[in-house]
Structure 1
C-alpha cells in the first residue's frame, strides 16, 4: 500500500468517526440541493430588529427583567457566540415633547419659533432607553446602527402635529405660514447623530421617514417620492458639511409595492436623489418583498412582523399561522432570494408582551424566545455581514434553498422543508477558487423545528462523489455550514 493511499485511508477513517448522517434515509423521497459559489448575488449587511417606542426599556428592566436576564436577552440578540448575532439595530429618532406612554423624546421638544431661529437642542443621554441599549449591542458586535425618524417634530409639519400624517413644510406642493423647514429638519437629524457619536455610539445609517403612505394616529409623516427627493438633497449636503461618515436611507414604505412606487420620484430630474442614497428601505406589511426594487442601491426589508395573529412563541409549524417560525423562515429566505435584499429586520427584537410583534417575549423576569427568533437566527448567525449570496437550487418543489459565502470562506446553506415528510437530500457544493470542491470533509447541520432551536447536530461526511448525503426533517429549517 502506497503512502498516499494510506494517508487517504487514515483521513477517511478519522472523518467517518467524526461525521455521521443527520438521520436515517429509509424510504424517503429524495432531492438534490446544488450550490455554486461562482454565481454571486448581493452582499449581506445582516439581520436585526428595532427597540423603538420605549421597547428598549423593556430589555433594560422596566417591567422587572433582572440584570442577569437583561444580559441574557442582549446576548441572544447581538452576541454571535451566545445568540443570533444580529448585525442591525434600528433606533427611532423621537419627535415627541414628552415621554408619556411609549412616546420617543425629541431632542428639540419646543419650537424655536421659525426654521431660521437658533435651535435649542437637549440630550438626556438615554433616548427612551435606546442609547444605552445601542452601546450594549455595539459591545457585543453590532455592525450597523440605523437611526430612523418616524416624523419630524410637529411644528415642522403642515398639520402642526407629529401624529396623524401631515407633510414636512417646504417639500414639493406643501407650504406653511411658518416657512420652509427642510434645512431645520436636516440639522435636527444630524444633531441626533452627533449626540450619539459624542457619547460613544456610532450611527452608520440615517433615515427620515417611516411608512409615508399611512397617516397613523402615532408619529408619522406623509411623503411621495418627489417630496422625499426634495429633502434628501438637503440632507446629503448637510451631512457632507458636518463631515460625518453616514449613509442615507429612504423611505421605509409600508409595503414593498409602496416603496417601489416611490422610486420614480427618487430617480427623476437632473439631480436624482437616488444618487445620495446608500440603501433603499421598505416594509412587508401591505405587500411582501418578492421581487427586486427598481434600483441599483442596496435594499433592506426594514420592518415586518405578525401584528394580528394569535400568540405563538413556541410553534415552528402548526397551521402555517402568521406568527409561526416556518412562515418567517420562508419570509426571510424569499426576501434574500427573490427580492435580493441585503438586510432583513423584524419589527421588535424583545418586548414585555404576549403578542407576536417581537422575536423575544419578556414576561416580567421570564424570557420566551419565539420560533421566529430562531428562524432569523439561523440566517443571521451563519450569513454574516460582508457575505455574498450565491446560487442555490433545489430539485424538489417543497424544499427551498438559499446559500451564502462568508468572507472567511465558510458557506452556509439554508434548506427549508415545507413538506409533511422528511427528504433524503444530496447536497452538492461547487466552490469557486477552491479546486471546485470544499476543503472540509464535513458540513455541520443546525436544526430548528417544533422540537429544536438552532440545534447543532452531528456533522455529515463527504461522500465519495464529493457530495453530502443527509436528511432534512419534515416542516423544518436546516442550515448546513461548511468550509
Structure 2
C-alpha cells in the first residue's frame, strides 16, 4: 500500500508472496497483427471533486498524488511510479460554492465559478483544481478536457446549479445560450492566457438523459433534450470558429449506453443519440457538420456492467449502431454503482483486487466489444465509496487527510501506462474455439493486444479465476518482453515481475492482471 498524508510522505512495503507455477496445458492466444480495430486516444480520470481540496494541501502531497496519476517514470527496480494517464478531466464549475448552503448542494460537491455576478472573471478561483492542471502539464499529460455539469448559476432557470424543482429540460434560460457559449470560450482562452493551459476538448453537458433529472442535493447537474444539446453545440461551434479556438466539442456524456442506441427510462427527446446527432436525416438535431465537433460520441457505462452476458451483448449492439452511422466512441465516465452486486455495490471503499478485477473486466469489454477509443474513470480520488482511484480519508492517528493508493489505480495502469495515444487494437483469438469472442472468458482469462506508434506491442491479460493459468501468446514475434503484474500480493502494484525472450508458458496468477510489453521486436 502506498500511503501519504498532508503532513508527511511514507511508502509502506511488505514481502512479495511467491505464486508457484503449476503444470498445465497452456491456453493459446494468437494475435493477428494484420487485423486491426480502433485507434486508442487516451485513458483518464477527473478532478471532481477532491482535487479542489487536495490541490490546496502541502505541495509534497500534491506531488505524490500527481506522480501516482500521471508519471511514466520507473523506480530503480524498473517498477512504474504511476499509471501515466493520458487525459485529465477538469471540472469547470457553475458557482455553487459562492451560493453556500442556498445552493442546495452538499458542501463537498460544490464548485466555484470563474464568472462573477458583475460579469467579470476571477481567475484565482478553482485554485486546487488549477494546481492539478499544472501538475498534469508538468508530467506532459497529452490531453486536457474541460467538462461542465451545469451552466453558471447566473444563467440557469432556477438560479441553481442543480435541477431541483424542475422537469427534464435544460436548466438554461432561453436567452442565455449565447452567453453560455461565450463563457465557455472565455474559460478556454482564459486558462490559456492566464495559466498556459490549453483545453483540447470541451464537454458542455453531462448525463443529460439521466431519468432522475438531476434533482436533489448530491451534485451539480441538469437534464437536457437532444434538441437543446444540438442548439448549444451549434452556438458553441460558431463561437469557437469566430474566435479561432481549436478546442474540440464532445457530446453528450450519456448516462447510459441504452440512451445512445434507443430510449431508456425517458422519452424519445432524450434518446437515440447516435442517430439523432450524426445522421443527416435528423435535421433538427444533426451536428455532424460542425467544424469543432468530431464524429465521436461520449457515453458512460453505468448500469450496463452486469450481468456479464448482458455487458457483452449491450456493447456489441452499441458497436453495431456506431458502425451504422460511422461514429467513434469514448467511454468517458464510470464508477461502481448499486447494481454492481457482485462486488457489493458502490458503498465502502475497496483497495483490493475484488473491485480492481471487476473494473478490468469492464475496461476489456468496452475496448474489445464496444471499440472504445478512450476509457475514463470517474474520480481520481474519493472517500468511502468505490468512485476514486485513490482513497482519501481522515486516519485516527492524523488529523489531516490521508491518501492511499488502490489495486484499482494500478489495474487501470495495466492499460493506461503502456497503451499510449495512437495505439491500434489488434485481433486476438483463442486456440481451440471458432467463437470470435474466444479471447474473452469473463470468469477466466481475457486477453487484448495493441501496437503503439513506436512499433512496440502490448498485451493485457486478466485472470478473473481462482486458479493460476498457463498461457502462450503467438503472432507477436520474439524479443525481450517485460511483464508487469497487479495482484493482491503485497508488492504487486504494476510491478515488473520479470522478462522473457518468448511468449510461451507464461503463468498468469489467479486474480491478477498482467501486461506484457515489447520494444522494437523482430517479426516471426
TM-score (norm 2): 0.76
Residue in 2 that maps onto 1:459: 499
2: CA distance between counterparts of 1:72 and 1:269? 50
1:309 to 337, 346, 349: 346
2:209 aligned counterpart, secondary structure = coil
1:275 aligned counterpart, secondary structure = coil
Residue in 2 that maps onto 1:325: 356
Preserved contact between residue 456 and residue 518 of structure 2 (Cα < 8 Å):
yes
2:67 aligned counterpart, secondary structure = helix
1: CA distance between counterparts of 2:19 and 2:488? 16
Preserved contact between residue 90 and residue 148 of structure 1 (Cα < 8 Å):
yes
Preserved contact between residue 111 and residue 126 of structure 2 (Cα < 8 Å):
yes
2:384 aligned counterpart, secondary structure = coil
1:444 to 482, 495, 512: 482
Preserved contact between residue 381 and residue 388 of structure 2 (Cα < 8 Å):
yes
1:220 aligned counterpart, secondary structure = coil
Instruction: Give the CA RMSD over aligned residues.
Output: 2.5
The Cα of 1:296 is off from its aligned counterpart by 3.0
1:197 aligned onto 2:181: no
Residue in 1 that maps onto 2:60: 68
1:226 aligned onto 2:218: no
1: CA distance between counterparts of 2:19 and 2:162? 55
2: CA distance between counterparts of 1:478 and 1:410? 17
CA deviation string 1:74-121 (max 9, x = no partner): 0010111121010111111111153442321223343x7xxxxxxx13
The Cα of 1:338 is off from its aligned counterpart by 1.0
The Cα of 1:128 is off from its aligned counterpart by 4.9
The Cα of 1:213 is off from its aligned counterpart by 2.0
Larger radius of gyration: 1
1:358 aligned onto 2:358: no
Structure 1 stretches of 5 or more lacking a match?
A: 1-21, 113-119, 318-323, 431-436
1: CA distance between counterparts of 2:304 and 2:453? 32
Residue in 2 that maps onto 1:186: 181
Residue in 2 that maps onto 1:13: none
The Cα of 1:168 is off from its aligned counterpart by 11
CA deviation string 1:397-424 (max 9, x = no partner): 3211111111111111001112221111
2: CA distance between counterparts of 1:175 and 1:87? 32
1:77 aligned onto 2:69: yes
Residue in 1 that maps onto 2:518: 482
Residue in 2 that maps onto 1:16: none
Preserved contact between residue 460 and residue 469 of structure 1 (Cα < 8 Å):
no
Distance 1:402 1:209, change over 3 A: same
Preserved contact between residue 156 and residue 172 of structure 2 (Cα < 8 Å):
no
After superposition, residues 387-406 of structure 1 pair within 5 angstroms as 387-395=423-431, 397=441, 398-406=444-452
Preserved contact between residue 447 and residue 456 of structure 1 (Cα < 8 Å):
yes
CA deviation string 1:58-78 (max 9, x = no partner): 32244xxx4323211100101
Residue in 1 that maps onto 2:29: 33
2:191 aligned counterpart, secondary structure = helix
1:212 aligned onto 2:214: no
Preserved contact between residue 112 and residue 125 of structure 2 (Cα < 8 Å):
no
The Cα of 1:270 is off from its aligned counterpart by 8.0
1:57 to 47, 52, 60: 52
Preserved contact between residue 230 and residue 286 of structure 2 (Cα < 8 Å):
yes
Preserved contact between residue 304 and residue 345 of structure 1 (Cα < 8 Å):
yes
Preserved contact between residue 58 and residue 350 of structure 1 (Cα < 8 Å):
no
Preserved contact between residue 346 and residue 387 of structure 2 (Cα < 8 Å):
no
**Alignment length, in residue pairs?**
426
2: CA distance between counterparts of 1:158 and 1:266? 25
1: CA distance between counterparts of 2:285 and 2:350? 48
The Cα of 1:314 is off from its aligned counterpart by 2.9
Preserved contact between residue 42 and residue 341 of structure 1 (Cα < 8 Å):
yes
Residue in 2 that maps onto 1:249: 250
2: CA distance between counterparts of 1:161 and 1:239? 26
CA deviation string 1:308-327 (max 9, x = no partner): 5343433103xxxxxx1110
Residue in 1 that maps onto 2:464: 418
Structure 2 stretches of 5 or more lacking a match?
A: 1-17, 74-80, 101-106, 262-271, 306-313, 338-344, 394-399, 432-437, 520-524
2: CA distance between counterparts of 1:271 and 1:310? 38
